[in-house]
């Protein structure tokens, strides 16, 4: 069964600290993995997208890693800011026989940054 | 703004009402989507339109009726809804429905409450 599991469900850290969010998946055949940030009351916004051959990808203070062998990804946030408070959603894509792609969403990690 | 606009942002309706959600994208994308987001659940894909043609309907109850009059607009018509339909309804668009690594651009969502 195609599934995406994220941990922890929620996380509270002090402003300025680093944190790492985890994503494990069983989606097959794998096409790509995306991380989205969703602020409260807003739609998800894409942070990064990684294909099979990419191990690490950065977007400012956000660094995503992918281990396609163990089917794990992480999102590391450096020097957290109050604006990083949001839900972070891991999404894994698989290609179908029809030439399109199917997305499997995780339930997200709710991150709260406190001053 | 992300280029995908949804209205209304909030909607409260009774179970016997008929209402519609509207989505407009200004990105020149060919594919548009409706997703349902409930608390502590992954996003659920409801409908996919590619070049104004419905290409996917994920076993959604008939009380939800989509309409795509052109490639920039998408509607979700609602009638005789149930309280469990209360959720955040997200519209998204992407360049194409086919092919890998299509990044979804989401709207801010319409928060629906069914009394």
Calpha distance A82→A109 (Å, rounded)? 16
Task: Please report residues of A whose CB lies closer than 8 A to that of B107.
Answer: 43
Tally of CB atoms within 10 A around A23? 25
Q: Model confidence at B68, in pLDDT bands (50, 70, 90)?
A: very high
Residue A69 is encoded by which pair of tokens? Answer: 């062998």
Q: How far apart are CA B79 and CA B75, in angstroms?
A: 13
Do A78 and A70 meet the contact criterion of CB atoms below 8 Å apart?
no
State how far residue A43 is from chain B, nearest Cα, in angstroms: 4
- Burial grade of A22 (CB within 10 A; 0-12, 13-18, 19 or more): middle
pLDDT value at residue B26: 92
pLDDT of residue A87: 97
Reported confidence tier of residue B63, pLDDT bands at 50, 70, 90: very high
Report CB contact under 8 Å: A45, B106.
yes
Specify the residue for token string 């076993």.
Answer: B59
């Amino acid at each position: 069964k195609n599934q995406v599991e994220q941990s922890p469900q929620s996380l509270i850290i002090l402003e300025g600290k680093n944190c790492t969010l985890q994503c494990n998946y069983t989606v097959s055949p794998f096409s790509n993995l995306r991380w989205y940030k969703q602020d409260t009351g807003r739609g998800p916004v894409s942070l990064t997208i990684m294909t099979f051959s990419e191990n690490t990808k950065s977007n400012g203070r956000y660094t995503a890693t992918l281990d396609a062998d163990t089917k794990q990804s992480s999102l590391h946030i450096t020097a957290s800011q109050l604006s990083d408070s949001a839900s972070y959603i891991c999404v894994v894509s698989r290609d179908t026989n029809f030439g399109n792609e199917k997305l499997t969403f995780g339930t997200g990690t709710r991150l709260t940054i406190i001053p | 703004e992300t280029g995908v606009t949804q209205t209304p942002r909030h909607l409260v309706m009774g179970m016997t009402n008929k209402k519609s959600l509207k989505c407009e994208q200004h990105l020149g994308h060919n594919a548009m989507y409706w997703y349902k987001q409930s608390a502590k659940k992954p996003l659920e894909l409801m409908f996919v339109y590619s070049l104004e043609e419905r290409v996917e309907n994920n076993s959604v109850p008939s009380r939800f009726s989509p309409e795509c009059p052109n490639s920039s607009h998408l509607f979700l018509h609602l009638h005789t809804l149930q309280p469990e339909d209360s959720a955040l309804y997200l519209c998204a668009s992407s360049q194409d429905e086919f092919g890998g690594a299509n990044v979804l651009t989401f709207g801010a969502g319409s928060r629906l409450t069914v009394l």
